[in-house]
Amino acid sequence: MLSARLRAQSAAGVLLAALAVEFADELFDGTKSAAMPLIRHDLTLSYAQIGLLAAVPLIAGGLLELPVGVLSGSGRRRRRFILAGGLVFAAAILTAGLAGTFAALLAALTLFFPASGAFVSLTQSALLDSDAGRRPQQMARWTLAGSAGAVTGPLMLAAVLAAGGTWRLAFLVVAACSGVAWLAVASSGRGECGPDPGDADDAEPAWPGWRRAMTVVREAGALRWLLLVEASDLLLDVFSAFLALYLVVVARASAPVAALGVAVRLAAGLAGDVILLRLLEHRNGRRVLRASVWLTLVLFPAFLLAPGVWLKLALLAGVTLATAPWYPVLTAELFGSLPGRSGLAVSLSSAAGLAGGLGPLAIGLLAQQFGLGWAVTALCVVPVLMLAAPRADPAG
């Protein structure tokens, strides 16, 4: 009994370390999104350059990240990849905070993406491998930790600014927090939530080559989930990246109100993740996803058409709650369609992310040509695409 209790405590420590990694990742994203108007002013960026800051790291960084999933395998080798990626992860955030030009900031963010692939994505795959029968619930916990980090980001930025600091100091604080997360992983034993590295089941099947890999993906039905994950990101992370600018430029909100809008977005996301975690204990994940898509089809156009900024913020909270199931359910379905091949799922997600990186660039170019309002309106196509998700689980 004592041995079982020690194993349970060890597993809990590993889980908390994994969630700390996702918290640090989204802490940086939330801080960066809230600071974007300040960064734009400080570095005199155009809309096109802002689009490039989102798109180039996704594409170039994705190319560097592409082989990480299959090369890392699992067990001790995956642990080494996670720890090495964590060091680069913290260094990239530190470099971004010190960047004095657009080129330097772009280089730092590009370095950040493959580091995130090793540190964050591999930790996520290990977490999903640890309890294959409850992937949606594990993804809900993972997303909840990320939402907590994303909410903390703007609040921390506001506190730094109130104390007389700058967005650069806030980035340095995030780099320090990521170092703490790295130490938690390094001290948690294996640094992952997967099977014991000595077990025979720990080894993934050998990499089948890209042609065979695509055959596996098609036969497993993973391609649809892969495309839906990338499409959904347009109304998740990409929309969030442009939100503060949209509220200032289109809704004519002040900078403090725009920061409040980002906080509303993140707080509603956190609430949505808490609700989702409870829903998935009693409801079919695909049915929850389907209902959320129909709700978004109503709420997002209403947000765009709302006449006043305060009504927009209320509807923004509704849109965020409605889209809360998208990332965790879709990602759980993607990994579930490739059992025993989580590394393949990570690498294929990186490959799909290369095409997904064109999304923020397209929004930036549309904003440059037609205005930011029309560029954000184009995102109405996303919930329509999401209707391609299957209606129910095979067993349900």
Q: Are 319 and 303 in contact (CB under 8 A)?
A: yes
**Structure token digits, residue 21:** 């990694």
* 279-306 per-position pLDDT tens digit: 888 888 888 999 999 999 999 999 999 9
Q: Give 8-39 as a DSSP string.
A: HHHHHHHHHHHHHHHHHHHHHHHHHHHHHHHH
pLDDT computed for residue 183 by the predictor: 92
Q: Helices (H) and strands (E) in the chain — how many of each?
A: 19, 0
Cβ of 309: how many Cβ atoms within 10 Å? 18
Q: Are 367 and 250 in contact (CB under 8 A)?
A: no
* 138-189 per-position pLDDT tens digit: 788 888 898 888 888 888 998 999 899 999 999 999 999 999 999 988 887 5
pLDDT computed for residue 8 by the predictor: 53
Low-confidence ranges of the chain (pLDDT < 70): 1-13, 61-62, 64-65, 69-75, 131-133, 189-221, 339-344, 347, 350-357, 391-396
pLDDT computed for residue 138 by the predictor: 79
Task: Please name each of the domains of the chain with its CATH number.
Answer: 13-195+205-386 (1.20.1250.20)
Amino acid code (one letter) for 230: E
pLDDT computed for residue 2 by the predictor: 47
pLDDT computed for residue 195 by the predictor: 43
